[in-house]
Amino acid sequence: MRRGKEEPIIRSGLDIGTRKISLIVTETDPLSSEMQVIAVGSARARGMSRGDIQDPDLVVESIRRAVDEAETAFDLNIRDTFLAVGPSSASVFRLEHRFPFREEGTPERPVTGKDMKDAVKGAVRAARERGEELLVHAIPLGYSVDSGSPVRDPRGLKGSELSVEVLFIGLPEDEVKRSITCAEKAGLKVLGVVHKSIASAYGSLSEEEICHGAVVVDIGAGTSTVTCVRDGAVRDVTVSPVGGDLVTQDVAKLLMIPPSKAEYLKREISLFEDPCDLMDELEFELDGEPFVATVQDVLDIVFPRMEEILFDFLSPRIEEFGQEKGLRSIVFSGGVAGAMGFLDLINDNYEIPARIGGPVNAMSLPPPARGCEFASTVGIVNYLLEREAHPENLLEPCLVELTGAPDEEQARDILILEPRRTGPGRNIKRGKGPMGGFIDALKNAFRELF
pLDDT in tens, the chain (450 residues): 344 567 788 889 999 999 999 999 998 887 877 788 889 999 999 999 988 999 999 999 999 999 999 999 888 899 999 999 999 889 999 999 999 998 777 888 999 999 999 999 999 999 998 877 899 999 999 999 999 999 999 999 999 999 999 999 999 999 999 999 999 999 999 999 999 999 999 999 999 999 888 999 999 999 999 999 988 889 999 999 999 999 999 999 999 999 999 999 999 999 999 999 999 999 999 989 999 999 999 999 999 999 999 999 999 988 888 776 667 889 999 999 999 999 999 998 888 889 999 898 777 788 888 899 999 999 999 999 899 888 888 888 876 555 444 443 333 333 333 333 333 333 333 333 333 333 333 334 434 444
Residue 277: helix, strand or coil by DSSP?
A: helix
**In this predicted structure, what is the pLDDT of residue 5?**
61
Q: Are 330 and 245 found together in one domain? A: yes
Q: What pLDDT is stored for residue 4 in this prediction?
A: 52
- The residue type of 217 is V
Q: From edge to edge, which strands make up the β-sheet containing 233-240?
A: 233-240, 224-230, 214-219, 330-333, 354-356
Q: What is the 3-state secondary structure (H, E, C) of 131-152?
A: CCCEEEEEEEEEEEECCCCCEC
Range of the domain at 162: 91-171
Which of 305, 329, 359 is a domain's end point?
359
pLDDT score for 441: 38
Pair 33, 53: CB distance under 8 Å: no
Note whether 355 and 234 are same-domain residues.
yes
Q: What CATH number is given to the structural domain containing 130?
A: 3.30.1490.110
Are both 66 and 98 inside the same structural domain? no
Q: How far apart are CA 13 and CA 335, in angstroms?
A: 18
- Rounded CA-CA distance 54/343 in Å is 33
- pLDDT score, position 401: 55
Residue 53 and residue 183 in one domain: yes
> Of 327, 344, 359, which residue constitutes the final position of a domain?
359
Answer for the pair 410, 446: CB distance below 8 angstroms, yes or no: yes
User: Across the chain, which distance is largest between two alpha carbons, in Å?
Assistant: 88
Is-contact 239 86, C-beta < 8 A?
Answer: yes
Element (H, E) at 207: helix 207-212
CATH number at residue 335: 3.30.420.40
Tell me, yes or no, whether 225 and 182 share the same domain.
no
Q: Which residues contact 338 (CB under 8 A, 6 or more apart)?
A: 356, 371, 372, 373
For 386-443, the three-class secondary structure string (H helix, E strand, C coil) is HHHHCCCCCECCCHHHHHCCCHHHHCCCCCCEEECCCCCCCCCCCCCCCCHHHHHHHH
Q: Where does 17-55 show beta strands of DSSP type E?
A: 20-28, 35-44, 48-49, 52-53
pTM for this entry: 0.85
Q: Are strands 224-230 and 233-240 parallel, antiparallel or unpaired?
A: antiparallel
Counting the structural domains of the chain, the total is 3
CA-to-CA distance for 17 and 15, rounded, in angstroms?
A: 6
pLDDT at position 349 is 87
Q: Do 128 and 263 sit in the same domain of this protein?
A: no
**Shared domain check, 417 and 383:** yes
